[in-house]
Structure 1
């Protein structure tokens, strides 16, 4: 989590900071083999130098980016969890609970789906 300290300190709203820290901490604990890093000023996790999942903070939500393939694969589950999404990210409103099970399934899917990927992003 040390890699995320500076990013977290820049989140002005203490509730948003705590929620983001909770999510990043959960991913770190559940997936210790993933590499936490900051890229494009956002926290993300990689596996063998390929992108697995990224996060960003907005005024009304925490954005989760599992790449378009992940969004497409879990679209129904995302909606069932009460989140809205675009082609590239899922929006978890600050006052909504985090569906950690869904988050973990998205990460597990990307780890398996990108096991043989040799590029940062899917091609």
Structure 2
């Protein structure tokens, strides 16, 4: 997989593709400074070559991966939004609304917390 358009088009359901387009259009509008890289067949957004957030899909949901530290920091808000989660990912079911304000908080948190970070992942 070489780019975000290929990632979106790999989703067979038209409604799911539309949700991904909505998500990535929002990302581009609100975070144009973030660079998109494809690693492990999923789009990852980086800032100064450090990981900020990644997305992937499954049959039942969009997976949001902002790193375990960020999930822990926003655990209550994630649960209040009605999303299932593990330590590593947040699951937004295809029929759930995307809580863009929560995504914004998590992305802003990672950008701020990793402003001087020089590695891809947190240690």
TM class, shorter-chain normalised?
A: over 0.9
* Root-mean-square deviation (Å): 1.1
Point out 4+ residue stretches in structure 1 off by more than 4 angstroms: none
Structure 2 unaligned blocks of 5 or more: none
Spell out, residue by residue over 1:78-112, the C-alpha distance to the aligned partner (whole angstroms, 9 max, x if none).
Answer: 00001010000000000011100000110000000
Q: Give the Å deviation of 1:70.
A: 0.6
Q: Give the Å deviation of 1:38.
A: 1.2
Counting only pairs closer than 5 Å after superposition, residues 12-27 of structure 1 correspond to structure 2 as: 12-27=12-27
3-state SS of the aligned residue for 1:46?
Answer: strand
In 2, the alpha carbon distance for the partners of 1:112 and 1:3 equals 26
| TM-score, structure 1 normalization | 0.96
Contact 1:51–1:120 (Cα < 8 Å) also in 2: yes
Contact 1:50–1:114 (Cα < 8 Å) also in 2: yes
Q: Give the Å deviation of 1:15.
A: 0.8
Q: Give the Å deviation of 1:17.
A: 0.9
In 2, the alpha carbon distance for the partners of 1:70 and 1:24 equals 20
Q: Give the Å deviation of 1:117.
A: 0.8
3-state SS of the aligned residue for 1:20?
Answer: helix
State the partner residue of 2:30. Answer: 30
Count of aligned pairs between the two proteins: 122
